[in-house]
Structure 1
Amino acid sequence: MAEWSFARIDEAAALACLVNDAYRATGPVKGWTSEAHLLGGQRIDSNMLREILGRDDSRILQAHLADVLCGCIHLKRASRTEVDLGLFAIRPDLQGLGLGRSVVEHAECWAVTYWDARHAEITVIDLRQDLVAWYRRMGYDFTGERRAFPYGDERFGIPKRSDLTLAVMRKALPGHTPS
């Protein structure tokens, strides 16, 4: 069973390693969620994480197994009733065991309980069909909104393709009906 905590600023380096390993397959195990075939470079760095962790409207939930950081997700209060979820990462050698579902559900429950969130939104590179299908199984649906990929900002990666687009997906959170 996972132990939960919110990341502290002094944990930014460990979080950066986890996220970059999950997104860019930097370690020995290549997880199914890697986007290394689409992007090179880093996904995030310690300075970017310290900035996120310094905001009042932002939390990074961490999952630990036996005192080892194994997953995380960023919660950002987007409005009075909406939370944006991002930086969702699971250690590649632990993917496929249900930990990802647990991390997302724990984040959603926390957002409902403490921020009275009624909806959660995520953005995903729409070419990542396996991940899109997983989010759909988690109850997220396309909103029809597309956002531009941040080409030219290598802090988020070096694109290997010119057709990257971010699709917005949304979910009514438990206890709230869709609106």
Structure 2
Amino acid sequence: MTELLIRDAEASDIPALHGLIESAYRGETSRAGWTTEADLLGGQRTDPQELGVIIADPNQFLLTAWDRSGLVACVRVLKLSDEAGYFGMLSVRPTLQASGLGRRMVAAAEAAMAGRFGARRSRIQVFPQRQSLIAWYERLGYAPTGETAPFPYDDLRVGQPLRDDLSFIILEKRLG
């Protein structure tokens, strides 16, 4: 992997962010990588308005990774409480998946939530159908909490469900 610049997203990055996130999660382009949700959801993963809200909110941000070719990865980081942070929307250009870039972005997200928010725990949520992704997070030190969260079927901004059994399992890791 070439040298990366990892920095917070800016409003001017929204078009590139939107394109990257959609390509990593939805449609045929997402099938070039191993993290696609195309068999679970159709439609969009996010929209420019949501990305703008994230960038403007002091309790969350998007970390971006850039190389000479442009934006190659991003991850959303959110403060949940004084003790815990959350990351999601981890997106790596599909042709670069399995290169270690996702692992680097998770490490950057964990460091940022600890440094900026004082978080001592990191939480994520994953579809239980995504066993290979859950196993990847477990290799990074995440463990299921036993908690679940419902899928927001009424919010088409996060996609059009292709199944009626969607939910999330919550995984957590102690930081530091």
1:41 aligned to which of 23, 29, 43: 43
Instruction: Report if aligned partners of 1:20, 1:26 keep a CA contact under 8 Å in 2.
Output: no
TM-score, structure 2 length as denominator? Answer: 0.94
**Would you say how many aligned residue pairs link Structure 1 and Structure 2?**
174
RMSD: 1.3
1:11 aligned to which of 13, 22, 42: 13
SS for the counterpart of 2:16 is: helix
For 1:100-119, what aligned pairs fall within 5 Å after superposition?
A: 100-119=102-121
Equivalent-residue separation in structure 1 for 2:4 and 2:83 (angstroms): 27
- Name the residue aligned to 1:159: 161
- Return the offset for 1:26: 4.8
TM-score, structure 1 length as denominator? Answer: 0.93
Equivalent-residue separation in structure 2 for 1:37 and 1:87 (angstroms): 17
Instruction: Report if aligned partners of 1:144, 1:167 keep a CA contact under 8 Å in 2.
Output: yes
For structure 2, the 5+ residue unaligned runs are none
1:96 maps onto 2:98 in alignment? yes
Amino acid at match of 1:104: V
Equivalent-residue separation in structure 1 for 2:18 and 2:5 (angstroms): 19
- Return the offset for 1:134: 0.6
For 1:1-179, what aligned pairs fall within 5 Å after superposition?
A: 1-27=3-29, 30-66=32-68, 68-174=70-176
SS for the counterpart of 1:75 is: strand
Identity fraction in percent: 38
Equivalent-residue separation in structure 1 for 2:116 and 2:69 (angstroms): 25
After superposition, give the CA deviation of every residue in 1:11-69 in whole Å (9 maximum; x if it has no partner).
11211111111011453862100010110000001011111111110110001111510
After superposition, give the CA deviation of every residue in 1:47-106 in whole Å (9 maximum; x if it has no partner).
111111111101100011115100000111111121110111000000001010001001
Equivalent-residue separation in structure 1 for 2:119 and 2:158 (angstroms): 27
